Chain A
C-alpha cells in the first residue's frame, strides 16, 4: 500500500544533540512538508519542498534543516540551535506542485513525537 512513513514514532534525545527524523513516501508525490504541532496550537510549517534538490523555509525554520536528494525522502534534522524542540512532528506530501489545495490534498505520515531533556 502507498503511504508516508515516518520513523521513529517516539524519539528521546538529550539537550544539545542533533537528531534526524525520517520521512519516506511511495506515493510519487512531488511536494513534501514538515510541520510541528504543540499542545493547544495549530500546525506550523517548518520547511517544504516542491521538487528534488530544492526546498523553502516555512514560518518556523530556525534551528531546523532539511534535504531533498530523492523524490521519496525528505528528512528533517532538529539541531541544537532549536530552543524548544520537544513537539509532535508531522511530515506530509501532496500529489503535485499545483498550489491550490482543492486540487492537491495533503497526506500525512503518522508523526514522530520528539522529547528532548
Chain B
C-alpha cells in the first residue's frame, strides 16, 4: 500500500535538544496525524491537524499542517529520555483513506 515519505528515518540526540521531523506526500490530504509508538505497544495519537496551515501544540510537541496540504512537520522541544520511541505520521486523503509514514526512530541520549 501507499506510504508517506517520512524523514529522518532515525535520530540520535542529546537530552535537552530540539527535534524536527517531517512527512511528505505526492497527493493532498485533508487530515494529518502524528503518533508515537513505544516498543511492543500500539501507536498513541499525539496531535491531529485538520486544516491547511494549522499549527497545534501538545505540551512540548508542536505540529503543523503544510499549506500545500502535502506535508506536515512535528517538532519536539527540550527532549527528555521518555521521548524515545518511533514517531509515525498519517494522512487522510479526500477518499477518507489513511496512509502511514515509515516512521522516525528517536533515541535520546541522557
Do A and B come together as binding partners? no
